[in-house]
Amino acid sequence: MKMNKKFLTGIATAAMLATSVIPYNVLAVAPEAPPLFNHQAENLSVTQVAQYDSGQGEGGTEIMAYDTDQQLAFVTNGAVAGFDILSFAGLKSGKFTKVDSQTRVHLSDFGIEKVDDITSIASHPTKDLIAISAVSDPKTDAGNIVFATKDGEYVNHVKVGSLPDMVTFTPDGTKAVVANEGEPNDEYSVDPEGSISIIDLTNDFSVNTLSFEGVTLDENVRVTSEGTTLEQLEPEYVTVSADSKTAYVSMQENNAIATVDLVNGKIIDVKGLGVKDHSAPGNELDAVKDGEINIEKQPILAFHMPDAIDTFKADGKTYIITPNEGDARDYDAYSEEKDLADIMDQIDLKAENYEGYTQEELDALVADGGLEKLGDYKVTVENGFNEETGKYEAIYGYGGRSFSIFDADTMEMVYDSGNEFEKTTAEAMPEHFNVTNDELGMDDRSDNKGPEPETVITGEVGGKQYAFVALERFSGIMVYDLSNPTKPEYVTLISSRDFSEDVKGDVSPEGLQFIPAEQSPTGYDLLAATHEVSGTVAVYEFNGKIRGSKDWNQSNNKYKNQ
């Protein structure tokens, strides 16, 4: 979809008109609240009822867990190698609240030294227990999972694999499951094997760390890079089935998902997720950083490479939902990532790799210099190369700029959102299309993963199941109705980033936590989003009572019938 400047002006005007209606939501909160953008608010009304500011800026917040009984939030604070404990108990519908940290815990207080980063935190569903994943310094050493009470007192810690990137409890509370990414150091002199640890909470925190040795990998798993196969496999994120029997683990750089039998402590298999053909109708993208919006077909195949995945059930079937972010193996001593311009003289594209081009069209595109405008687009040099001819017969990039849904039993993709993220942000906020998360340059990220979907969570609002997909760079959350898992429908885009400055408001959502109404202090469904660059947590309320609405009594600023 090519948009000229005249059309963009029209879109911008339309967006301004749309947002001129939306700001009654902005009026719903106190003046100190960040401005809230709620696209097509008539579909799902959203207000921001709280914000927590770590005071640390970047790294001050990344991942959050929630205890429903005490209404406590636990937030990682990598900037201080610890975590913060917040209370949401005082949150009120229709009122903006600045939340303070009740307790800040440094892992050094527990006698745990040489901590490089805090990557994840989880709250036990029933016990007085939280788990924190701590990366060692150096990160290639075995990491720790630290257990503490929900008021921040030390309980235990256990060794797991290298670079524990995510920890979660099983729904039945009997186990903690850890994805150990095992990244190499920048010098590429040490590259630990990726692994998955299962911690048995019924057996004195005993640890069973699973290796991928002997595990079946299908032909679509990316393991043709530097290092051995076991070194290249890098678990990223864990989601567990509702019956606590199966874990699904994203392997981002491998463009794959591993299935783990938690009952028998065994990795069943690893299946690749395939590629996205950006020449196919509905998959167009803006791959050119030129200050304009041009969503059009390109001869690019992109690996989905999801980060933080989730599962949900519909009609008795389990589905995996993936935010297709993309990530390269990129280190000082070795990198697969290049600009397309670096390999331009080695390109000889073949139509058999693309749905949307004939060979004649591809030959003309190359001969006429049509690829020159893609010179800054980030590609991998590890795929598409024909060693016999010395040419790249396809261009491979990172991330689908979308979310996908897979059948958990077969790993068959049943849905992908195509180009809707870029189309929606282009129409809703064209002046901030494909901005990055620390600078407001419009179109800045078009040549590198676009809006960059980072994480996803599902939750039920008003009897409907929704997917909430965080866009890390743009700093917004896409909301989709999952009533039909094979054909989700776009509902709204929300953002509490203040676009008046490069970093202001809530910037760069990294983690999401859904709090259903029956567990919410406001009585309405909440979504908490941790923002890595601003170091803040935003709490959004869905379909709550809004100041200025018919439910609000302006004379005394209290809700009627309450």
Name 22's Cβ contacts closer than 8 Å, sequence gap at least 6. 37, 38, 39, 41
Do 148 and 158 contact (CB within 8 A), yes or no?
A: no
Residue identified by tokens 């709550």 is 544
The pLDDT profile of the chain, 562 residues, written as one tens digit per residue, is: 434 333 333 333 333 333 333 333 444 444 478 899 999 999 999 999 999 999 999 999 999 999 999 999 999 999 999 999 999 999 999 899 999 999 999 999 999 999 999 999 999 999 999 999 999 999 999 999 999 999 999 999 999 999 999 999 999 999 999 999 999 999 999 999 999 999 999 999 999 999 999 999 999 999 999 999 999 999 999 999 999 999 999 999 999 999 999 999 999 999 999 999 999 999 999 999 999 999 999 999 999 999 999 999 999 999 999 999 999 999 999 999 999 999 999 999 999 999 999 999 999 999 999 999 999 999 999 999 999 999 999 999 999 999 999 999 999 999 999 999 999 999 999 999 999 999 999 999 999 999 999 999 999 998 999 999 999 999 999 999 999 999 999 999 999 999 999 999 999 999 999 999 999 999 999 999 999 999 999 999 998 654 444 444 323 323 333 3
Tell me the CA distances in angstroms from 302 to 383, 447, 494, 534, one per residue in order: 11, 12, 26, 29
Query: How high is the pLDDT of residue 229?
Result: 97
Residue with tokens 């990726």: 194
Distance CA 383, CA 348 (A): 13
Peptide bond into 430 cis (omega under 30): no
Whole-model pTM: value is: 0.91
Structure tokens at 100: 């303070």
Q: How is domain 5-326+399-559 classified at the CATH fold level?
A: Methylamine Dehydrogenase; Chain H (2.130.10)
- Helix, strand, or coil here: 556? coil
Q: What pLDDT does residue 543 have?
A: 83
User: Containing H/E element for 337?
Assistant: strand 337-339
Show Cβ contacts of residue 102 under 8 Å, excluding neighbours closer than 6 positions.
72, 85, 86, 87
Q: How far apart are the C-alpha atoms of 489 and 203, rounded to whole Å?
A: 45
Q: Which amino acid is at 315?
A: D
pLDDT for 548 equals: 44
Instruction: Please name the helix (run of DSSP H) or strand (run of DSSP E) that holds residue 19, with its range, or none.
Output: helix 5-21
pLDDT of residue 27: 40
Q: What is the DSSP string of 352-415?
A: GG-SS--HHHHHHHHHTTTTGGGTT-EEESSSSEETTTTEESSEEEE--SSEEEEETTT--EEE
Integer Cα distance of 291 and 367 in angstroms: 25
Residue in the structure block whose two tokens are 């309405």: 524
Q: How far apart are CA 157 and CA 301, in angstroms?
A: 43
- Which strand (E) or helix (H) includes residue 421? helix 420-428
| pLDDT given at position 481 | 97
